[in-house]
Amino acid sequence: MLRGFYAAASGMKTQQRYQESLGNNIANMNTPGYKADQATIRSFPELLIQAQGKKSLPTTRSLNIPIHQQIGSLNTGVYVQETLPNFSQGDVRQTNISTDLALVQGTLPDETGGLFFSVQNDAGEVGLTRNGNFTVDGQGNLVTNEGYYVLDQAGNPIQTGGLDFTVTADGVLQTAGQNTALGIVYAEDVNSLIKDDANLFSGEAAAVPAGTEYTVQQGFLESSNVDAASTMTEMMNAYRMFEMNQRVLRAYDESLGKAVTEVGRLG
């Protein structure tokens, strides 16, 4: 009975974590460049149940032969194995704001690869982002809404001197004084990247390989790739699964209560 109790509890905990992941996707549905989280649910290894007994042979010595009868398998519960972002391209919408940049992927060397803007966080570490909702700070640096520096190909902050600049389709920021190539990098395996709370990714990235096709659109933003309809449907299914496990857990709890009060009193 206790095994079923713990299996139902693990189901409730799993659906709760899954619901939190879906809720985070809904909350970031309007965040530019946001990549929806996808949770993978797996079951713990099943246990093989056998009945052990013995059979007496009609001999003068009364020999006993051990018997092992296979009954079946027992599921020991489920868990959320990992949560991976969906790196598919989001829709591109026009904003007509010069500091908004959309990175549109074309042909990539590998299906698991992805292109990103490189930025520098508060700790001085390089992060990767698809959110091109940039602005210019008081010192004339191109920064994210969180104040992180947008980097060029040399890994240095980009100085624009103001809002009067243009960005070409191949990612070159042009001002009156100079041209600066945006720090667009390529991650060979996007599934190995780690996402933090600021929607930044960390991991291995390198220069864009030859033959990679992409365009940078100024005055546009890449929208979140969250599918609101399917996400709401998954949230309802997760809620129903949580309720089902809750009812099973309540049934086990009532059975244990009867075993303690009624069966114990009869003894």
Residue 8, class by beta-carbon neighbours within 10 Å (0-12 exposed, 13-18 middle, 19+ buried)?
Answer: buried
pLDDT of 21 > 90? The answer is yes
Q: Mean of the pLDDT values across residues 12-28? A: 93
- Say which residue the tokens 């109790």 belong to: 5
Q: Which of 11-25, 92-106, 250-264 has the lowest mean pLDDT?
A: 250-264
Angle at 187 between CA 184 and CA 192, to 5 degrees: 145
- Residues in the chain, how many? 267
> Torsion over CA of 254, 255, 256 and 257, rounded to 10 degrees?
50
pLDDT tens digit string along 55-78? 777 766 667 777 777 776 666 778
Domain ranges of the chain: 2-83+251-266, 88-222
Winning range, highest mean pLDDT, from 5-19, 140-154, 245-259: 140-154
Q: Which of 156-165, 236-245, 249-258 has the lowest mean pLDDT?
A: 249-258
pTM higher than 0.85 for the full model?
A: no
Q: Judging by DSSP bridges, how do beta strands 101-105 and 126-129 pair with one another?
A: unpaired
CA–CA gap between residue 224 and residue 30 (Å, rounded)? 6
Q: Mean of the pLDDT values across residues 76-82? A: 82
Q: For residue 242, what are its two tokens?
A: 């949580």
Q: Please count the other Cβ atoms lying within 10 Å of the Cβ belonging to residue 183.
A: 25
Name beta bridge partners: 156: none
